[in-house]
Structure 1
Amino acid sequence: MSLIYKEDPERFYILDNDKEIAEMTFSRIGQDKATINHTFVDSIYRGQGLADKLLDLTVKKLTEEHREIIPICSFAAKKLNRQH
């Protein structure tokens, strides 16, 4: 299995060969905020930490842009609230 991380303008996703198996979407708001909207991992690939990897990538990207992160997605909210 070969996992590849790719970034579209407002999402990160993971491919296994040509099949998209996981994604996290976000939206930039103005100059200093962003929401994390949605997380999905194909049921076959759950339990492998893929959502955590996507969250790490997304948080890193938005932090580098000096944005306050507003987690709308329940997965992101749960994980980010644990860190505070």
Structure 2
Amino acid sequence: MEYLEEENRFYVPGAQGEQDIAEMTFQRQGNDLAIIDHTYVNINYRGQGIADRLFDLVVEKMRQEGRKIVPLCSFAEKQFARKPACQDILAQR
């Protein structure tokens, strides 16, 4: 599976002319924060760990940029609860 990056999202493209299979979008805020605001995986691809990988890619990118993450989307919020190794990048609210 191919994972691609654009300015404010990581995604898995669909076949040519088709909707993307999955995406996670985020918005940078100032110099030190990012908000994960949306996660989507096509129903035919759920349960394969695609959203988990998208989350990991966003976390890696934000660590490289020195940003903390505010998880507004429910999936990202659950991922932070499930992954203790990511607590260092979770913004305190």
Q: Please give the TM-score of this superposition, normalised by the length of structure 1.
A: 0.91
Cα RMSD, aligned residues only: 1.1
SS at match of 2:2: strand
Give the counterpart of 1:6 among 4, 7, 27. Answer: 4
2:87 aligned partner: none
Q: Which runs of 4+ in 1 moved over 6 A?
A: none
Superposed counterparts of 1:1-84, under 5 Å:
3-18=1-16, 19=18, 20-84=20-84
List runs of 5+ in structure 1 lacking aligned partners: none
More deviation, 7-16/35-44: 7-16
Give distance in 2, aligned partners of 1:70 and 1:81: 13
- AA aligned opposite 1:21: I
Residues in 2 aligned to 1:29 and 1:79: alpha-carbon distance in whole angstroms: 21
Q: Distance in 2 between matches of 1:67 and 1:81?
A: 19
Return the TM-score normalized by structure 2. Answer: 0.82
CA distance in 2, matches of 1:5, 1:58: 11
Percent identity (aligned)? 50
More strand by share: 1
